[in-house]
Homo-oligomer: A and B are copies of this chain.
């Protein structure tokens, strides 16, 4: 009987650290998630087809959230995720777009 059991901790904008964001972005699975969200806006965790188990997916989303890269809210049984584009751009102008563009380009280059 927890009063608000479905609330998720997000770092405040002022608590977001570049090194944590870069670390969160340094994994191929998480880069794929970020690129997906950049292209498609808000999505549920299961909307992205990742090559890892559900537990691992949960783990990667948590890493992204705790680094301040994404925001997650519960909507029914689903958990919707979206990029914190505005916060990231205010702190690190251009970083997110640069990384997304670079990863898309790398995938195109390697395919």
Residues of B within 8 Å of A111, CB to CB, are none
Which of A26, A27, A93, A105 has the most C-beta atoms of chain B within 10 angstroms of its own C-beta? A26
Most B Cβ at <10 Å: residue of A19, A28, A93, A95: A19
Interface size range of chain A in the complex: 20 to 34
* Minimum C-beta distance from A35 to chain B (A): 11
Interface residues of A in 85-111 (CB under 8 A from B): 91-95, 98-99, 101-103, 105-106
Within 8 Å by CB of A18, from B19, B23, B95, B102, lies: B102
Judged by a CB distance under 8 angstroms, whether A25 is at the interface is yes
Once the chains bind, are B94 and A94 in contact (CB under 8 Å)? yes
Binding site for B on A (CB under 8 A): 17-20, 22-23, 25-28, 31, 91-95, 98-99, 101-103, 105-106
